[in-house]
């Protein structure tokens, strides 16, 4: 069975990486192997992407003591807890049959694993029935050490959540300083959550409601750009690693293909900024040697 849908195949063909995509596509499966299960059990955070009840795409951050995400079968993971009531995806994860993409990214080891499938509520949180499971290379992952995990001593959130339709000057500075963000996209086959990284400034704010970034060369799968070929909805998540503050953006994205590469342009429709959303505190980054100069 072809692991790619028509959108991804169209981008692979356009860029000329169809053969490479076929090779790496063999790593996409449904089963959660033992090494993947062990990796998940060590993670203090998980990013999830999905659509809310109005169809808007969002990326959200979940955190917990290691073991809060665990494999409970060859094609199933369970997540203890869940998103707080104010998160844009809280209601979606409380419903049965929500298409989700997840990514477990460990800055300590520069490893990441993606699992896409269908979520449903459980007594302890929610579970995901896996449809695609695979790992990605460490390109563009900044190395960080976990300095403090306050799950057992300090409430995860403090400060008022800020909602808006465009970016404030402070939020523009937040994005300009970012070296990492997560992006959720969707297709008729389901949802996907992925990662983008680079040196600070790799994401440009071109207007209070517009961002752009270069699409760096990766694993040739083109799952994100393939989804955007057919469905422009996207949700971005930026994280202040030192304070735990999150910035979630929902909107639409397009890809411009040029002689010197690819550029993604994102139009902001909704903004949610949550101070100290995460209790995790990370060190200053050691930037990936793969990051291109700006």
DSSP string, 3-18: SS-HHHHHHHHHHT-H
In degrees, rounded to 5, the angle at the alpha carbon of residue 37 between the alpha carbons of residues 223 and 157 is: 80
Residue 230 has pLDDT above 90, yes or no: yes
Work out the number of other CB atoms within 10 angstroms of the CB of residue 120. 15
Q: What is the pLDDT of residue 158?
A: 59
The CATH class of the 6-282 domain is mainly beta
Q: How does strand 162-164 pair with strand 261-274?
A: antiparallel
Residue 43 has pLDDT above 90, yes or no: yes
R_g (Cα) of the chain, nearest Å: 18
Mean pLDDT of the chain: 94
Nearest C-alpha neighbor of 9 from the set 222, 165, 241, 172: 222
**pLDDT: which is higher, 155 or 53:** 53
């Amino acid at each position: 069975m072809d692991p790619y849908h028509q959108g991804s195949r169209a981008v692979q063909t356009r860029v000329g990486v169809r053969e490479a995509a076929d090779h790496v596509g063999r790593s996409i499966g449904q089963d959660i192997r033992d090494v993947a299960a062990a990796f998940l059990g060590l993670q203090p955070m998980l990013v999830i992407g999905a659509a809310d009840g109005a169809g808007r795409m969002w990326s959200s951050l979940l955190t917990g003591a290691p073991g809060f995400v665990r494999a409970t079968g060859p094609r199933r993971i369970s997540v203890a807890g869940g998103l707080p009531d104010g998160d844009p995806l809280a209601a979606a994860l409380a419903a049965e049959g929500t298409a989700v993409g997840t990514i477990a990214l460990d800055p300590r080891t520069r490893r990441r694993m993606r699992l896409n499938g269908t979520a449903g509520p459980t007594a302890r949180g929610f579970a995901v029935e896996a449809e695609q499971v695979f790992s990605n290379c460490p390109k563009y992952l900044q190395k960080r050490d976990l300095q403090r995990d306050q799950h057992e001593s300090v409430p995860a959130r403090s400060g008022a959540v800020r909602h808006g339709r465009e970016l404030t000057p402070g939020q523009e500075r937040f994005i300009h300083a970012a070296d990492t963000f997560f992006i959720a996209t969707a297709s008729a086959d389901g949802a996907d959550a992925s990662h983008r990284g680079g040196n600070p400034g790799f994401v440009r704010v071109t207007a209070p409601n517009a961002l752009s970034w270069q699409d760096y060369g990766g694993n040739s799968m083109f799952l994100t750009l393939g989804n955007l070929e057919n469905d422009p909805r996207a949700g971005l998540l930026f994280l202040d690693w030192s304070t735990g503050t999150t910035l979630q953006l929902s909107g639409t994205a397009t890809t411009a293909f040029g002689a010197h590469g690819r550029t993604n342009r994102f139009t902001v429709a909704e903004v949610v900024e949550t101070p100290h959303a995460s209790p995790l505190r990370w060190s200053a980054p050691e930037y990936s040697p793969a990051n291109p100069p700006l």
